[in-house]
Structure 1
């Protein structure tokens, strides 16, 4: 393994672990919100009318926490992507879809926090908690992009060699 390949592999692993940590932070935040019976995200409470459309807030937030655990597992699979072509492609497809989903959420919440998109809700009452949540989300997405790009590149090289 040459030096450039070694650096890319280290970056991919660091990105995957960062993405996993971001997903676990999301999971823990959803469990905490489920315990308190709240909707929304840390720093971004849901408007009161949102509660009318959710039958069981705790179950909804625990479902979101389960999704967070799934995203953490997918990110971990990027530390050392599966050797099987179809499994690797599945992990990459889910990763890129997750990146788009989480990245869209970060952009939307940032637009809400800055007042650029008033239709998304009022600016958060606690700017510090909102900024922390946005920073975690941005790091999560950045790490996942690095890991998925590395695994995509690695998978392409393996397929050419096959």
Structure 2
């Protein structure tokens, strides 16, 4: 196994684990009946906008499972374009969403975005959540870049046949 393939494999598996960590955190918050993210409780007024906190958090957990599957697909994308291209598009959309979340929660933790909520009451938990998110989005980006490049090479090789 080449060094670049090992790097790609590690990145895709790390991205999958990041999505699974998100999923577990959402199931835990659903069990507790809380909105927000670990270390970042939602403002009290946010509860008025959500009919059922448990259902909302379990829906987020389901989204986390989908992201885990998509990240896992990057380990070895199927050759069929009907799977390969949607997996890449979903990966890039997920990277954008998770990256925006990490930036937003990071700004909230630093006190730079009071409109997003108060600074976290338990900073170590908040920083741990931000670290997991940053590692997740970085690994997913590396896996997606590598998978996108390999897909382009396959398309170019197919065109030369």
TM-score (norm 2): 0.96
Structural mapping, 1:6-155, within 5 Å: 6-155=2-151
Quote the offset at 1:99 in angstroms: 0.1
- For 1:74-116, what per-residue CA distance to the aligned partner results, in whole angstroms no more than 9, with x for missing partners? 0000011111123211100000000000000000000000001
- Higher RCO (CA 8 Å, separation ≥ 6 residues): 1
Unaligned runs of 5+ in 1: none
Unaligned runs of 5+ in 2: none
TM-score (norm 1): 0.95
Aligned-pair Cα RMSD in Å: 0.9
Q: Kindly report structure 1 stretches of 4+ aligned residues shifted beyond 6 Å.
A: none
